[in-house]
Amino acid sequence: MSWAVIGTWRMSLKGTEKAMEILRSGGSAADACTEAASIVEDDPHFHSVGYSGLPNEDGHVQLDAGFMDGDTLHFGAVGCLEGFRSPIRVARSLADRKYNNFLVGQGAAQYAAANAFEKRINETEDSMNAYNKEKGKNSPLSSYDGHDTVCFLAIDNDGHMAAAVSTSGLFMKANGRVGDSALIGNGYYVDSSIGGACATGLGEDIMKGSLSHTIYMKMKDGTSAKDAAAVSVQQLHAELMKRQNYAGGIAAIALDRSGSYGVGTNEPFAFTFASDQTPACTYFADAENGSTKIHVYQDTDPALD
Ligand code: ASP
């Protein structure tokens, strides 16, 4: 068996390298994805995940995260979690329960405190500067730019697969808003017997296509990870354009049980990948004439988080 890991945006590189270390030494896909997402959550340089995330309209960093185990299909998720260090660890800890796998807001915080998860104030000077600058503008609060989600999908040496996603969601989002990232089938879905997918971009539009589950179902029907991701994003984009005359930025990654990956996007998108055959590397993807073009990330490419 071989191992592989794929992550969204440039910010995933350190996480992919960490996952690589874990997978290379025989660790599980679940640990690889969790540790990878957690490293990104801890890094204050990335402003759309965890510590130093983007505040909501009230100036609070409310975090969403989801975890899925591809063997059992168990999942755990938190939405609008405030005041804790690692939403992905909290999400994962909810995955093996029969009920109550997805907790939000105060309930999620109560659970995290009761289970001794490390507390942390995630609002930093940088987060609050961004917030105050936006709030100071005369126009209504509508800055939905600058968001991104870190997503990881991995397969380990024993063929187990897992997914982990973490985000602060849309900048200036409404208090209590939960996006696609924490929602199974939307921000993530993985089944070790087939493969999995994760999404990033405008959550409200991703949810209209249940994007990760749609990609997974195509793979289940025999489509390659490459085509499943590219075609599903194109189809969702076209459907959104037809019905609402606009489509938010949407990107998705897919990984199958043989370690082959796919990417779909309707905007410039960066991702990272590593496997037992390929060293960790950052790639750039963009939609071109109905297909997804990919090359190794170059300095001349836009600085995508
Ligand atoms: N999908 C995330 C959300 O809507 C944001 C992103 O990935 O850019 O919360």
Tens of pLDDT, residue by residue over 223-254, are 999 999 999 999 999 999 999 999 999 999 99
Q: Judge whether residue 146 has pLDDT over 90.
A: no
255-278 tens-digit pLDDT: 999 999 999 999 999 999 999 999
Beta bridge partner(s), residue 205:
none
Nearest CA to ligand 1 atom 8: 148
Is 56 near ligand 1, meaning CB less than 6 Å away? no
Residue 119 CA to ligand 1 center (angstroms) comes to 23
Q: Return the structure tokens found at 13.
A: 């590189």
Q: What confidence category does residue 83 fall into, taking pLDDT thresholds of 50, 70 and 90? A: very high
**Does the C-beta of 203 come closer than 6 Å to ligand 1?**
yes
Domains of the chain and any CATH numbers: 4-296 (3.60.20.30)
> What is the whole-number distance in angstroms between the Cα of residue 158 and the centre of ligand 1?
31
pTM value is: 0.96
Closest CA to 183 of 68, 269, 98: 68
- CB of 149 within 6 A of ligand 1: the answer is yes
pLDDT tens digits for range 110-121: 999 999 999 999
Which alpha helices (H) appear in the chain, and where do they start and end?
Answer: 13-24, 29-42, 87-93, 105-114, 125-135, 203-208, 211-220, 225-244
